[in-house]
Every structure is written in C-alpha cells, then in structure tokens.
Chains A and B, each alone.
Chain A
C-alpha cells in the first residue's frame, strides 16, 4: 500500500492489472526508452485488392485468436454498429477471452454485456458507459477495467503498456487498398482523430466501410500503408446516432447563470486578448460559455487563435465569422462540423496523439489558454471526479479531462453546486480523476471559486462587477449545509476499476459496490 500524491491509498500490485506505478504529481513521470511498434508487414504488387467478403472473413484473415486485444474508435458514437458486429462474429466463431480496447463505449454497445457474461470479452480498457459500467461496478468482470484519458491511451500504446493485436477501424469511406476518409459517405463522422493510434500501432488493421469508392480515395485521413484488410458492409452505423442535427445553446436559467459567471472569469483573466485559444465541450454549460465569450469578443474586438477538441456547429460558426482563426478537431460532433472539416482548410483534423499525448514533442492541449470542463464532483483540494456517480458506480470514461486540465493555462470546472440533493462540492471526492494541481477555478451558480494556488487570478477577478467570489471553504460548507450528511458508499475490498493519470501512473482505484 502506498499513499500517492493526491493522498489516495493504492496497493502496490493489483490483481488483473499488475504492478502499480504510483501517481507522483501531474508532471512528475518522464518517459524512458523508445516508441514501441507494430509488426512490420510486406505487401507486394500481387495484391491490389485487400477486400474480403465478410466480417468473419476479415477476422479470420486478421489472425485474431482468443486472448488477444482488439481495438475500436468511437467516432460513430451512439450510432456505431461495428463493435457489436465484430464481437458478435467473434462469439459465433468461438473466439473468446478478448481484451476490448475502445476509445469509448456508448449505450448502443450494451450488447457487450452479453459478451462479457459469455466470456467473449474478459477485459476492458477504455471507458465504460451506463449499463456496462453498472455491471462492472457490481463485480461483473473478472479483472479491473482500466480507464485512460484521450492522451493517456496513445501514450500507453506507444510506451508498450498496451499492445493492439487487431484494430477494427470504422471507415465512412474507403477504397479497396485501404485508404480511409471520415468526411464522406452516408456514415460520415468528420475527424477520425481517435483512430490514428490504432492504425499506427496495431499488428493488423481492418478497415470496415459502407462506402467503397474507386482507388485512390480522397481526401485521405488514414493512408493505405496502414490497412491490412478491407471489408465492405451494408452499414457501419446509424447517422442519427453518429451526429446530432445542430447543437443549440441552452435556455435553462441555471446553466446560463453558471455560464455567464464562467465567461466573466475568462474575460477578467489575463488570457482574454487577441489570439486566445479555448476548448469547450458539447454540453449545455460549455456551449453557453462559448456563446457569452463570443459576445464579449465582439464587444472588445478580440479574435481567437484556435478552438480545440470536440467541434460543434457553434464553433464552426465562430470560424466562419472570423472570430476564431483555426479549429483543431479531434472529434466532430454534428453535421455542421462534419461539413466544415471537409471543406475548410482552417478546420484541421488532429489525432489523439497530436491532441493530448503527454509523451510527444508537444500536444495541442499545451497551447491552450482556456478550457471549460464539467465533473460529477470536486473537493476542497480542487480534485475533480468524472468517473463515478454519487452512488459509487463507475459510469463515465475520462475523456480529455486530464489532458486539457494539465495543458490549459486556465482550467475551469463549471457545474451546479447540487444535482438534486447530491453535493457536487465535497470534502473529498469519491474518486480522483484530475488533481487539484491542474484545476484553477470552480464556477457554480453561487459564483467563482479560485484555487488559492492562483493568486494572479484572484487579483484579476477581485472587484469585477456582478461576479461573486466564493472561497472554497464557504462553497463546501454551503453544499454540506444544503444537502446534509451523506451515507458512505458501501463497497467490498475488490478493485473493479483502475484510473490512470495520463502518464500511466495510477491516480485512483474504484471498488466493487456492495449490494
């Protein structure tokens, strides 16, 4: 047992995970050695068509065997068919004990529960959503789930911590030789940012497409040099689940209030000047913050440098209006974003490595001025939890939370003080996803709470009209007073989730819920 740098007690060895590298601080661990790699392949001119006739043929050709690691990207989000298609086929073919290594999972993947119960999938590394998370929290898997951030995943692969045997890459458009494009086709998803790691580091790469075009496809995101096998299927996903229509700014008064305070904080900060770069998610509050920032930028005549991360139509509008110079897109959330990335040279596709990997020559998050994030809870040390809900169930992946928080000059967590009766500000979070070391401010409907580490920010916001400043002690006390004492979460000793920091150390663990 060791107490790590966020005061969590973590065993030195975890059954089903291995030896623990303990979290020592947000920027403590440095890399050693060289980048691990995929097997070398050789293709000569005797093969000019990599297509096989079915998913099952593709699996056969890939050499996938029981016990191997398979990977998928999540750009088709809740409309994805590919994960289920491949796992169903594996089940039918008697392939089992697979390690599932997705970049995220959605509600559409709840069939994975059946495969877990039948032993087709015996390990998951990535994120767990909803029903799968609930199953894992109640002890439904034999080994712990490993959660990594968007930047931590490519790091783990490149450092050799995870080896991908076969990568299945859902390809909205592909040609017979394996060139892949994400912006064209009936299942277009825009950026293929999360798929690059899989394409570069898997021993075998299978492109799964529903839109086969003549060789060579163009434009190309992932080139033919990466694909071993190509398979055409009737549909790789449901467009309604892949992209939303257009994301609209919320009119909910509480969210607008919080968003306004966050925007005022940004405006008062030293970063609100020409060239400001920012990232906001697609959720209600982050989108509203972007809308208020736009008002303020127009008023002050400020132009943004770049927007980063998951791109929505709202961000695309800012690009078109000249309010931001470039967009760096690792995930396109809606139709407007898909269209824009296909047409506008200032809307750039970036990989997960480019976006957030801490072990390269500089990820995009390092150049970020401002990021607005959410959390399920934060504590008086400013640590944030995004993985578990109030009942202790492991229900959410880490996403880009750790990476953007570590990279951005101003990291803001914006959320209501209470969700129903559940306090979102506590003395100690149930699980640490992102440490207080990299979180600068909490914004609630009661105002702005600045991390005491940031005296410069405290000075900048003191005296700003109509922007209440609330010390963390007062905020936590108010939450406690309103919600009253909470019963502790009842768990067994068994560890069912390992939360890695983006550098591969273990920042926290999640235990099985007692029924």
Chain B
C-alpha cells in the first residue's frame, strides 16, 4: 500500500533516524528541494549511510534524487544504488519518456556495477510541468521500473503560470488525468503534498477528494498528516462488513454454479465484486 509516503529532509539526522516510526507506508529521503545547494554533498553522504545501515522498519524506502538537469543526479544515484535498504527512486521533473529512459539506463548500469539484482529499484516519477502531465501515459509505460506517477504542486503551478488556490482548481484536471494515465498503465497514481500542516480539516477534505478521484495515496511532509490520510483511505467497519458479505455471496454463487450473484435481493455484477476485493486489500484483510 502507498497511502502515505513521508518526505524526510535528507540533511536532517533527527528525521532520518525516526521518520519510519510514525506509521506511514513509505518514506522519501529527500536530496532535492529539502536540501540547500551548498549542502547537497553532506546530505548525499548522510542518506547513503542511513541506507547502508538500513534501520527503517517495514516501510517502503525511496530517495528523491536531484533532476537530470542538475550536476547532482549521477552522484546521487552512485551513492544510493549500492545500498541494501533501498526500494525505489523518486525522480523530479520527469516530462517525457525520454527522461525515464535516461534514468532507467543509469540505474541499470549501477545495478550491474554493484551487483544489485537488475530491475530491483522502482521509479516514482514526479510530473511537474504541463508537458510532463500531458505525457503522463507515455511516462508511466516507458519502463517496467515505473511504480507510480505523481503530479507536482508548486512547480506545476509555476509552469501553468498561475497561483495556489484554497480549493486547488488549477490542479484539478492534472489530477484527474494522472489518475487515468496511472490506472491505464497499471501504476499507482499518488497525489501531491498538502502544505498547510496545521490545517487538519483541509487535509481531510483534500484527501477525500483525491481518494474519490482514484488516487492510491498521497505524499506528505509531516508525520501528523499520516493518521488523517489513513483514516480516509481505510475502509470503515461498515464498508468491510459489506465487502465481506458480497464476497461470501460471490463464493456461494460460484460453488452453486450460478452466474448471477445476489446480495440482499439485489443483483451484484463483476465490477462490484472486484471493488469488494479491493476494499479488503485496503483493510489488510485479503
């Protein structure tokens, strides 16, 4: 599950040590925007050592490297690919399948060099420009490494030449499109961060909206955001009970050789049964 992926500033020992304890599904050790230019070297060394030590509990461990338009990205990859506790790489400013191919090649080269199983490391692509959003499907299908696509927030707004609004109007279409592209490609669409860390109600509203759109989860910047998002994504007791009922009915119908499944006197067709299965997966009961 990727309901929550928590950004940990790559130059912050406190968060690197404790970040995995807060219950998010994944962590993102950030070498990009959370680290000042003059500290890129120190952060890289620090993150590399934490990945080598590997004390992250059971969460999915990813690193956001610097963009391929910088002087840092190759050094970032060299420092992290060999390390034992790394599941994936989050790449910023991916705007075409071409970018994916460049990253894929370099990661493969390093996996080979360091004896890391080929294809182990997944790619999480941030789509932070209008072009990137429009190329979402091509990006999502550009490599078997792709695990998720994520629409950008601030950078995307800047590229659209508009400002942040309370209800996120300017990102709405991009969000919808990324969900379609992700689901069509069979990768996770993950939503962008919510930056008002003390606005619990606002976070809940936004999370309910993006969940409804079809996102699999959200990137977050503060541990206090985890519970709210899990609360929204987790099926309620009622939903779980209903899903179990539907699956029991489907099982019974299959055993009796009946094509049609009925629950409470109503016909229930295949997509509904599939959704019920997915509810139990999200509840951790499948």
Contacts and interface: CB of A to CB of B under 8 A. Distances in A.
B282 to A, nearest CB: 15
Contacts of B17: 482
B198 A251 contact: yes
A253 B23 contact: no
Chain A interface size band reads under 10
Contacts of A236: none
Nearest to B223: A253
B21 A251 contact: no
B224 A251 contact: yes
A482 B16 CA distance: 13
A256 interface: yes
A199 to B, nearest CB: 46
Secondary structure at the B interface, as helix, strand, loop or mixed, is helix
A482 B53 CA distance: 11
Contacts of A256: 223-224
Contacts of A253: 22, 222-224
Secondary structure at the A interface, as helix, strand, loop or mixed, is helix
Contacts of B223: 253, 256-257
A386 to B, nearest CB: 24
A445 to B, nearest CB: 5
A445 B224 contact: no
Interface in B10-61: 17-18, 21-23
A466 interface: yes
Contacts of A482: 17
B240 to A, nearest CB: 13
Q: Which of B21, B22, B23, B198 lies at the interface centre, i.e. has the most chain A CB atoms within 10 A of its CB?
A: B21
A72 to B, nearest CB: 40
A253 B8 CA distance: 13
A446 interface: yes
Contacts of A466: 23
B224 A446 contact: no
A5 interface: no
A257 B21 contact: yes
Contacts of B22: 253, 257
Nearest to B198: A251
Contacts of B198: 251
A177 B17 CA distance: 62
B18 A445 contact: yes
B13 to A, nearest CB: 10
Interface in B198-224: 198, 222-224
Nearest to B15: A253
A21 B22 CA distance: 47
Interface in A453-507: 466, 482
A254 interface: yes
A285 to B, nearest CB: 15
B23 A445 contact: no
Interface string A256-294: 110000000000000000000000000000000000000
Given A253-B224, A254-B21, A445-B21, 16 more contacts: A251-B198, A251-B224, A253-B22, A253-B222, A253-B223, A254-B18, A256-B223, A256-B224, A257-B21, A257-B22, A257-B23, A257-B223, A445-B18, A446-B21, A466-B23, A482-B17
Return the 9 tightest CB-CB contacts between A and B, nearest first: A253-B223, A445-B21, A253-B224, A253-B22, A257-B22, A254-B18, A257-B21, A251-B224, A445-B18
